[in-house]
Amino acid sequence: MCALAGIEAAALTDHNTVGNCAAFCEAAERYGIIALPGMELTTAEEVHVVCVFGNLDAARAFEAEVFRRLPPLENDSRVFGPQIRMDSEDTVLGEERRMLSTATGIGIYEVPGLVAALGGACWPAHIDRPSFSLISNLGLWDPGLGFPFAEVSRACPPDFLDRPDLKGLPVITASDAHYLDQIMDACQQVELAEKNSSALLEWLKRPDFNAFSPLPS
């Protein structure tokens, strides 16, 4: 679906797990798509933060810390749906029994340091949304958090970034797709020194927004 949407780089960021990232990266390679393994972390404040890494070992190390700080709850698939692990051919391998939809014990001020220690990049997800976002849950943008940019949804109101605390804040737009039909067409581009995951990750860690632009509609 990413290939059909004209997307040349993508990350898989399931909630509080990287369990399907190996399959995603393998499938992306077949289509020539730059792939980053990652996670949409739910912080102790119930803020969603996108965390991406340069390789599966780093992503799994981060997952181990997240699992250590998840409440010891089992997922009720009748209420929350099954948490399925799959291979790159869509074969079901099993289910993750931990409840992944809850908050971890990781505070938002901890996240940049934890991710950076593993060579990754992170940013707050969909800050314009009324739930599970930094703005809705904390009330304002604090530059001291250490995030280089933020993500907004494709439905972000035009005047949202006019808020005094968000003036001049660099943002990107992401699909935040929970289903295949929610993957949006490519709408933005970034100039990289090389077309590979390492160059993309380096840009995400130290973004130069002079090299970032929307695609012509």
CA distance linking residue 174 with residue 157, whole number of Å? 15
Predicted local confidence at residue 217, as pLDDT? 66
pLDDT digits (tens, 9 = 90+) for 69-90: 999 999 999 999 999 999 999 9
What was the pLDDT predicted at 165? Answer: 95
Query: What was the pLDDT predicted at 216?
Result: 80
CA distance 41 to 166: 22
The secondary structure element, H or E, covering residue 80 is helix 77-80
Predicted confidence at residue 169, as pLDDT, reads 95
Stretches where the chain sits below pLDDT 50 are none
Q: Which helix (H) or strand (E) holds 85?
A: strand 84-86
pTM over 0.75: yes
- Quick one: pLDDT at residue 158? 87
User: How is the chain split into domains, by residue range?
Assistant: 9-66+100-207
Sort strands 121-124 and 188-190 into parallel, antiparallel or unpaired.
unpaired
Q: Looking at residue 100, what is its pLDDT?
A: 96
Question: Topology of 9-66+100-207 in CATH?
Answer: TIM Barrel (3.20.20)
pLDDT for 86 equals 94
Helix (H, G, I), strand (E, B) or coil at 191: coil
3-state secondary structure of 152: strand
Q: Which pLDDT score, from 0 to 100, does residue 215 have?
A: 86
